[in-house]
Structure 1
């Protein structure tokens, strides 16, 4: 199913033009992750495939704001592993939590992200989760856009599990 899923993601989410990425890089190609995350059929297939990538012993799926949240939710439904929803910054009112949902303290966490380019947000969130008492060892993502991101994440002790590398999506889209 993985090749077919790559083709479906490419067809629904691949855009061309000029796009500035979160990293500041400019790209002529862009995957609008919200287009596949908002499609229940494709999101269900993504969760099914990511489930096979989850390491043993994960206690909480930590979906990063905002794109990782629907993926973590779908993956939680598939795996029966509780989810936490991680803000970019702890809210300054109410509970003042960084991670909403299930408790992360002392738990083995797998960060869930949609697209990893440089790994910047995963690095920041992993630091915050570790400061909050979580044991963060792994990250799963749907699209690994650039190997630079993987290298930076491995430098902080994360194992990266990606469903697709950018080249795989592009080649799936070029098969007619």
Structure 2
């Protein structure tokens, strides 16, 4: 069993991933979805937490070896960024969704130096909106952003286009296609339900209609 497959198994067994048989969840972006991944829960499970950290570290080494600072995207990306930074013995910062309204009014908490290469970590990517805003904040402060890592990506075309427009790349540990295939194997589901989940993925903005 690969590390990725083991992580998916844990997400399913711990019900961190939920598929709705009827109805839908609603994302912050407004998308209606038959699936919800509450990845904030992963920090409560030591084995899952450690396996995800290991997988993210492997992605750093494979795709972004020039990284010198790990940045967590508030709030869900912060604990995972801390775990990865600790494993790699690197500095860590985090990026707020907006500047705080008191004190230094900082949006970035922690120390980044002029020549640093910053790698952002978030829990999941749907359209990429929140993490790309964080990346823009780092760039606006005058620093280099290498790219983005996430535990999970829905693999929407919107995200691909948004990252291309921003001139950034991203790498997830798990994609929606990976998750659906393993979920089908693990819990079983009828063919028409699999087809419905696949059709949602092809056009999530209009699926509920």
TM-score for both structures, normalised by structure 2: 0.79
Q: Does 1:165 align with 2:153?
A: no
Q: Does 1:38 align with 2:22?
A: no
Give how far 1:163 is off: 0.6
Give how far 1:35 is off: 1.6
**Which structure 1 segments of 5+ residues have no match?**
none
Give how far 1:146 is off: 2.7
Tell me, yes or no, if the aligned pair for 1:109 and 1:136 is still in contact at 8 Å.
yes
Q: Secondary structure at the match of 1:174?
A: helix
Judging changes above 3 Å, is the alpha-carbon distance between structure 1 residues 134 and 10 closer, same or farther for their aligned structure 2 residues?
farther
Q: Secondary structure at the match of 1:77?
A: helix
Tell me, yes or no, if the aligned pair for 1:59 and 1:107 is still in contact at 8 Å.
yes
Structure with bigger gyration radius = 2
If each structure's strand is expressed as a fraction of its own residues, which one has the higher value? 1
Q: Runs of 4 or more off by more than 4 Å in structure 1?
A: none
Tell me, yes or no, if the aligned pair for 2:67 and 2:146 is still in contact at 8 Å.
no
Give how far 1:23 is off: 1.1
TM-score for both structures, normalised by structure 1: 0.93
> Which of 75, 78, 81 is the aligned partner of 1:69?
78
Judging changes above 3 Å, is the alpha-carbon distance between structure 1 residues 165 and 129 closer, same or farther for their aligned structure 2 residues?
same
Computed over aligned residues only, the root mean square deviation of the Cα atoms, in angstroms, reads: 1.5
Match of 1:6 in 2: 8
Tell me, yes or no, if the aligned pair for 2:77 and 2:121 is still in contact at 8 Å.
yes
* 1:118-137 alignment, distance < 5 Å: 118-137=127-146
